[in-house]
Amino acid sequence: MEKKQQHIAIFTTASLPWLTGTSVNPLFRAAYLAKDEGRKVTLVIPWLSLKDQKHVYPDNITYDSPAQQEKYVRQWLEDRTGFTSLLNIRFYPGKFSLEKRSILALGDITEVIPDEEADIAVLEEPEHLTWYHHGKRWKKKFRLVIGVVHTNYLEYVKREKNFFEAFLVKQINNWVVGIYCHRVIRLSAATQELPQSIICNVHGVNPKFLEIGKKKKEQLQNGDKAFTKGAYYIGKMVWNKGYKELLKLLRDHQKELAGLEVDLYGNGEDSAAVQESAKKLELAVRVHPGRDHADPLFHDYKVFLNPSTTDVVCTTTAEALAMGKTVVCANHPSNDFFKQFPNCKTYDNAKGFVEATNKALNDEPSPLTEDQLHELSWEAATERFLKAANLDAVPTKKLKKTPSKLYMSTSLNLRKNLEDASAMMHSLGTGFLNEKPDEEQRKELGLASPPKKRATYPGKWGF
């Protein structure tokens, strides 16, 4: 009997041209999963109104239609992977929250996937996608729901010294993820513990970075000087992305780091303040606008300095390692995956940072082996994802209980009933919070207008 094609829908919280982790990594994941003809993969991304696009997308890029944005996304992907992906792209209505600096879904986004294709859902940032979810329950719609946790929300809240809010966020995250996900993949131990979760880095790097790394390897093996520049850091220019820690380390240890030159690249609301702090140092610390990390400008830097501890798994650290550079980073759970690479130098304190930085600048990076290059690739990341998600064990849509199994299922039924009640409470609460898409967005996405208001009952919520 021919094996039925698996349908995988990957929902995420952002889209290109916004170059954020939750727009780039799910796109690559979808493209590499779709290389297997046994799967039909659909990437589901937010569609924003023109006003919100202007808030979010860089360089004044806007789109008049979802088709226009899809064309951009596909071209960007093909330019970086070198192949034309068979993935499908669909859009859900979204709204940019200035207060939260993130995109929130409008209405019931499970409707984007037809019921006959509702096999497996991958929720990239499951907390974010379910905080305000009001509609059909994910576990009722899909046979298997997998959450991939990208962001350490608790760390951001704790840095604001609001410990009550941190406690609340932790409990809400546990609650919504437990209600809506069968399994959860945490990219590193830097995230909070969640129900049914395992730790596995299921991200890879853009193939262009691996090509740069191969060229650097050839140069090193030929005895050529592969790296002619010193140290740099690239990241969104906000204090909590490592700039605060890095500038403090440089300020407190200027004598031990005498002669060090550092280039900082990034855009963000703290750019002016970062530049002002850098000017006060005796060391040569130059601040530049953000650039694409694959830009030839970065190829010849030898050392990537990254003291950030707010990332879950830092994409730019992986990219720097793929390019053959030495990385100096904190001994922190977010960097555990990178410790397997000889060019990753971790430190526990300020003294360790100084020693690791000076040594990295004086030594040549070790050429990457083929196995190390593979481990950083999206092919390897996809292998890890398939193993962690255990897609081969997808349950059938409905399991009928036999009398012999009825007693054994009593505790499971009790847990399920409690979960259903909890989900209903969440739906009632989010009914007051989740906004609906306006008529313009409905028209742009080809969505039907909502039916006239009528009385609703629990059965109509999909519980």
Residue pLDDT, tens place only, 256-279: 999 999 999 998 889 999 999 999
State the average pLDDT for the chain: 87
> What percent of the chain has a predicted confidence (pLDDT) above 70?
85
- Domains in the chain: ranges and CATH: 6-204+380-389 (3.40.50), 207-376 (3.40.50.2000)
436 — pLDDT class (breaks 50, 70, 90): confident
Residue 271 is predicted with a pLDDT of 95
59 — pLDDT class (breaks 50, 70, 90): confident
* pTM listed for this prediction: 0.86
Sheet holding 344-347, edge to edge: 284-288, 261-265, 229-234, 301-306, 326-330, 344-347
On the question of pLDDT at 184 being above 50, the answer is: yes
> Strand pairing partners for 47?
93
Residue 330 is predicted with a pLDDT of 96
Q: Cα–chain-centroid distance for residue 418?
A: 31
